[in-house]
Structure 1
Amino acid sequence: MLHKFSVKNFRNFSEWLCFDLTSQQYEFNENAVNEGIVRHAMIYGPNGGGKSNLGLAMVDPVLHLVDSPSYFSSLENNYLNGQKKGSIAEFVFEFRIDGAKIVYSYGKKSCTKLVYENLSIDNIHILQIDRRVSPLAKIELEGAEHLKKDVGESEISLLKYIKSNSILDDTKTNKIFFSLLKFIEGMVFFRSLNANNKGEYVGKDIGVKRLSQSIIESDSIEDFEKFLNDAGIECSLMVDIDANSNKAIYFDFGETKLEFGSAASTGTLSLGIFYFWWLRLKSGAVTFAYIDEFDAFYHHALASTIVEKIITSQAQTIVTTHNTGVMSNDLLRPDCYFVLNREIFPITELTDKELRKAHNLEKIYKGLSS
């Protein structure tokens, strides 16, 4: 899992921002943490404070390590912080994977063009290059000895270069290296603010043009119908052929039927988008999910239901919201709730009180942030 993350000069982050996911000592809702790391987190903060940009920064490795990823086109012309022209965006990721401490840091001048890159596993430098100094790379992985160390003018990631051009030996370090790549490949940022046919996401190409296609192909129509009914949307669903000769989901009204994407409300469409990603979370295809404004179209009671579903996932998840109604020890715990406003910190730092399970976190947050 991701243990700590730092970013500088990316979009609205002109200076270093550090997000520490180290858990604290609480003896309840232990499923929210894993081996001293927050597994499920929730972030609050003002509009324009950087919640969306933080998520985009946290999944940034996908852009240069995954083939043909999906990403927002705005990243191409709005990647670097506007106050520091000519500089580079810098990132530091600290992971705990398979019991190993992994530090992956790099600097980029655009979505895919790397300037420097470093990877260490248990404090041993495995990969290193700084193109500002030399095109020569340091590569210390068994099985990669044959690779050219002089990368010339190439701005490709060393990690991707090694993955694509070598067959590494079966060593502990190499296994951890591939586990890191697998974790990054499963990282995704998604939101449904536009409520179009598949919302917006950054991550590995999901392989379908319509989200309903995955629900149909995974034979999940009945479960999707139950999910909607449990969310308070009484409906009956069926699969039929649409005007383009494709299978599609329809509301079944007996003598009539209406195509889901055309007839559903914005909130219901948003639930459909979440359900698609939920299937991927449940299957293990997603290892890390940053869900931006997850409850933008939900009733406050439904938001709690969605959080309850998210935290059953084994993936590491971070959601952003303005809804203080879900700031509760019934769902998570104090070390899982964070506030982002120029810097990011857990709500435990908002008060000198020793927060316990019986405390009303929403009341404390509103009282101290007003």
Structure 2
Amino acid sequence: MLRKFSVKNFRNFTNWLCFDLTSQQYEFNEIAVNKGIVRHAMIYGPNGGGKSNLGLAMVDPVLHLVDSPSYFPSLNNNYLNGRSSAQIAEFIFEFRIGDAEVVYKYGKKAWDKLVYEHLTINEINVLYVDRRKSTLASIALNGAETLKNDVGDSWISLLKYVKSNAILDDTAINETFLALLDFIEGMVFFRSLNATNKGEYVGKDIGVKQLSQSIIESDSIEDFERFLNDAGIECSLVVDINPNASGNKSIYFNFGEIKLEFGTAASTGTLSLGIFYFWWLRLNKGEVKFAYIDEFDAFYHHALASAIVEKITTSQAQTIMTTHNTGVMSNDLLRPDCYFVLDKKISPLTELTEKELRKAHNLEKIYKGLSS
């Protein structure tokens, strides 16, 4: 899991921003944390404060460690911070992988151009290169001794280079290294503000073009129908051939004599739920290890938003949600150390008040008091 994250000179982050996910001591809603790390977090903050950019920064390793990732085209020309004269964006990820402490630092001049890279496992230097000083890299993994250590004019990540070209020995450090790559490959940023087939997302190419395709192929149509009905959308769903989709199958609302294709007939809110369910399948199956869900409840009634949070917290993935909805700021859903406020810096709610927050406190009222 990700324990702490820092970023500098990426998009609107001019100075170092540190996001500490270390949890505090509470004896309720323990499902929200795991071994001292917040598993499920919620972020609040003003519009334009950087919530979306924080999510893009936190899944940034996917861009250089995963083949042909999906990403926002705006990153092509809006990657570095415009107010700084620095030539690289810098990132520090502190993970706990099993019982190991892993620190992954790097700097980029563009989303696909690594300048320096440094990986330590339990404070042991494992991989290092700084192209500003030398093209020679340091690689200290058993089984990678024969790899060429001169990166030349390549921008490739050392982590990806080793994974693709070495058969590593069976050692504890190598096991941690491969587990780290597996975790990063399962990182995703997504949102449903853009009501397209899968919303907008950054992550590994998921190999499908429509959410209906994924639901049909996983034989989840009945569960999807129950999910919508539980959300207050009374409907009956069927699968049928779509004549406008080269004969592929699609999901339809079934009104008896009339059937309407889901993607064209669903309201914005219903389509948003469909997009969430699409990603929920991956969360539930363990395909997603870390999910940054931006404006997760943009189209939801507050009661439905609470139900979605409850559903997300049943997953084993580490999740971070952003919202403006203070109605879900409740100890009934998470706990005080899981709610964060981003406004120039990011802090847990527990650090923004002198009160010693407990389960009986009304967190929404306390937050609104801070904002007034």
Give distance in 2, aligned partners of 1:305 and 1:98: 31
Give distance in 2, aligned partners of 1:192 and 1:65: 25
Q: Structure 2 matches for 1:59-138, cutoff 5 A?
A: 59-85=59-85, 87-138=87-138
Give distance in 2, aligned partners of 1:84 and 1:27: 44
Name the SS of the counterpart of 1:248 in structure 2. Answer: strand
Residue 120 of structure 2 aligns with an amino acid whose one-letter code is S
Name the SS of the counterpart of 1:155 in structure 2. Answer: coil
Residue 87 of structure 1 aligns with an amino acid whose one-letter code is Q
Residue 251 of structure 2 aligns with an amino acid whose one-letter code is I
Give distance in 1, aligned partners of 2:343 and 2:355: 21
Give distance in 1, aligned partners of 2:221 and 2:85: 50
Name the SS of the counterpart of 2:110 in structure 1. Answer: coil
Residue 274 of structure 1 aligns with an amino acid whose one-letter code is F
Query: Normalized against structure 1, the TM-score is what?
Result: 0.99
Give distance in 2, aligned partners of 1:152 and 1:351: 52
Residue 50 of structure 1 corresponds to 50
- Pick aligned residue for 1:341 from 333, 340, 343: 343
Encode CA deviations 1:166-210: one digit per residue, 9 max, x unaligned.
111111110100000000000000000011111100000010011
Post-superposition offset of 1:349: 1.2
Post-superposition offset of 1:368: 1.3
2:24 is the counterpart of 1:27: no
Residue 362 of structure 2 corresponds to 360
Give distance in 2, aligned partners of 1:228 and 1:151: 51
Q: Assess if the C-alpha contact under 8 Å between 2:137 and 2:149 holds in 1.
A: yes
Residue 351 of structure 1 aligns with an amino acid whose one-letter code is T
Q: Structure 2 matches for 1:267-286, cutoff 5 A?
A: 267-286=269-288
Q: Assess if the C-alpha contact under 8 Å between 2:293 and 2:321 holds in 1.
A: yes
Post-superposition offset of 1:149: 1.0
Give distance in 1, aligned partners of 2:152 and 2:264: 52
Moved more, 232-241 or 192-201: 192-201
Residue 253 of structure 2 aligns with an amino acid whose one-letter code is F
Give distance in 2, aligned partners of 1:346 and 1:369: 14
Residue 353 of structure 1 aligns with an amino acid whose one-letter code is K
Q: Structure 2 matches for 1:245-264, cutoff 5 A?
A: 245-264=247-266
Residue 171 of structure 1 corresponds to 171
Residue 68 of structure 2 aligns with an amino acid whose one-letter code is S
Name the SS of the counterpart of 2:53 in structure 1. Answer: helix
Post-superposition offset of 1:350: 1.5
Name the SS of the counterpart of 1:46 in structure 2. Answer: coil
Give distance in 2, aligned partners of 1:339 and 1:357: 19
CA RMSD between the two structures: 0.6
Residue 225 of structure 1 aligns with an amino acid whose one-letter code is E
Q: Assess if the C-alpha contact under 8 Å between 2:9 and 2:86 holds in 1.
A: no
Post-superposition offset of 1:86: 5.0
Q: Which runs of 5+ in 1 are unaligned?
A: none
Residue 201 of structure 1 corresponds to 201
Name the SS of the counterpart of 1:109 in structure 2. Answer: strand
Post-superposition offset of 1:116: 0.3
Name the SS of the counterpart of 1:132 in structure 2. Answer: coil
Name the SS of the counterpart of 1:286 in structure 2. Answer: coil
Give distance in 2, aligned partners of 1:177 and 1:198: 31
Q: Structure 2 matches for 1:135-154, cutoff 5 A?
A: 135-154=135-154
> Could you tell me the percent identity over the aligned residues?
81
- Pick aligned residue for 1:310 from 295, 312, 317: 312
Residue 278 of structure 2 aligns with an amino acid whose one-letter code is F
Name the SS of the counterpart of 2:104 in structure 1. Answer: strand
Post-superposition offset of 1:85: 3.8
Query: Normalized against structure 2, the TM-score is what?
Result: 0.99
Name the SS of the counterpart of 1:96 in structure 2. Answer: strand
Residue 155 of structure 1 corresponds to 155
Residue 43 of structure 1 aligns with an amino acid whose one-letter code is I
2:330 is the counterpart of 1:328: yes
Encode CA deviations 1:198-250: one digit per residue, 9 max, x unaligned.
11000000100111101000000000000000000000000000113110000
Give distance in 2, aligned partners of 1:197 and 1:280: 16
Encode CA deviations 1:292-322: one digit per residue, 9 max, x unaligned.
0000001111000000000000000000000
Give distance in 1, aligned partners of 2:188 and 2:197: 17
